[in-house]
Every structure is written in structure tokens, then in C-alpha cells.
Amino acid sequence: NKGKITRDENPLGWQDSLSGGDAVHLPDSARLRALCDVPAPKFGPLNILFESREILVIDKPAGLAVHSSLGHEEKNLTARVEALLAQRGDRFSVAPVHRLDLETSGPVLFGKGKQACSALGKMFMRNEVEKYYQALVKGKTQGAGTLRSEVPSKGKIKEAVTEFRALFRNERASLLELSLNTGRQHQVRRQLVQAGHPIFGDQRYGGPCPKDLPRMFLHSCRLSFVDPFSGAQLDIGSVLPADLKRYCDELFGNS
């Protein structure tokens, strides 16, 4: 009744139905962890990938929500960034100008102050930011190609375009680098399912979920854009997290 039980950060009501693969999130509490024998998630210090007077880019770990939402009121990336700036004595506001799904890791761009947030937000709306991901998908894909299809977006059906190239492949799986030409919600996840190559660990969209894979294998590996304040070209990368790299090394023989 309080809306604190969620699916994909949206409140679930008593009338809602669940499907196989849905991830349901309960509000964190010591009593619940004791009952379920589930440890509270622990995150290390914030990893700053880039910082200037107007821009801050943080390497988000998987499992940490970007925004405050039901079940993530206190433990979210924005709250941690605000706490860091307060500790420094900075008095300006800060806000993320885009988002990553809860299970997706990688760089998140924050604006320092309202003017910076506005300028960076407009840059994203004009599709002036190149976004690259790495995903492990089921089966052997082509070496490179373009995914072009229609996906649901904000109550409408819109075209989504994603370019990809295979970094490693075998008959079981392919490690892809993907470049998003459009920014639809769950774009990469939906399109890869449509192509017959769902992402490993993606329960919602029917990806293979081996027990030795700790989470969904989707990582935002690079943001590339022109700094609207300095005019400099910025290429901000994030290395594949250790848990995903270990799984890849086992799958492709330390390639």
C-alpha cells in the first residue's frame, strides 16, 4: 500500500501481475535481511573518472541506483555524490543528466550547478553524446552490423538504432561493443532479444542466467562528447568490472 515494493523502479500494486524473470525489489531493512539471510550491498569509495568546474563523471557500480527512488531513498549514486561535495564544502547543486539501469555499471555524467545541468541535458537531447556499451550475448553473432528496429518508448513505438562489433565470439556467446544512435529505454536489451541474442544475466528479457555469473552482463564502457564549456573533446572510459572480466576470461580463454 505504501508503494515501496517495486519492479524496475516502478511501484507494484496488489492488482499487478508478475512474469517469469521479473526482478522485484523490497525496501531495505535489517529485519528483512535477517529473515532472508541477505547481506546489505556494500559499495567502495566513489570512483571519479573525470572532473572539471562544470562536469563530474562517476563510475557507477552495478546494483546502485542513480536516483532516489522507492527502496533506494538513501543508498543511491546522487546522494553519495551530494555527500562527497558537502564534505568538500562545495555549496552548488549537483544532478545526473542521464541514467543507467540499476544492474548496469559505467560512467554517469553529473552537472555542477543549474546552468551546467541545463547545458549538458540539452547536449544529450540533441544526441551529441556517443554512448558505448559492452554486453555478453547468447550465441555467435556477426562480426559487425547495425540493429534497427522499433521498441516501446514512453507509451509510443519508436525506432531504435544500435551499431555493434564483436570483440570475441564462440558458439556459446559473443562479447559485443555497442554504440547507441538513439536513446530508448532498455534499447540494447530489447534489440538484442529481437535479434536472437539476449544478454547473459538479463532475467527480464530471457537471457541465459548461469549460476557463476554474478549479474547482468551489461557495462557502459565509454562516453564521448565535446565539452560545451571548454570546447575540448572528451573520451571518458570505464574498464570492464572485475567480476565480468573474470567470467569473460573463463568463457573465452583469457583472450
238 and 105 Cβ atoms separated by less than 8 Å: yes
What is the rounded CA–CA span in Å between residue 211 and residue 201? 9
What is the rounded CA–CA span in Å between residue 231 and residue 214? 40
Say which of 22, 101, 235, 243 is annotated catalytic.
Answer: 101
What is the rounded CA–CA span in Å between residue 247 and residue 132? 20
Give which of 59, 44, 118, 46 is closest to 85, Cα–Cα. 46
What is the rounded CA–CA span in Å between residue 82 and residue 93? 8
Record the cell numbers describing residue 44, joined without a space. Answer: 567502495
Alpha carbon 212 to chain centroid, angstroms: 21
C-alpha angle 212-41-49 in degrees, rounded to nearest 5: 90
Is 212 a known active-site residue? no
Active-site residues, by number, are 101
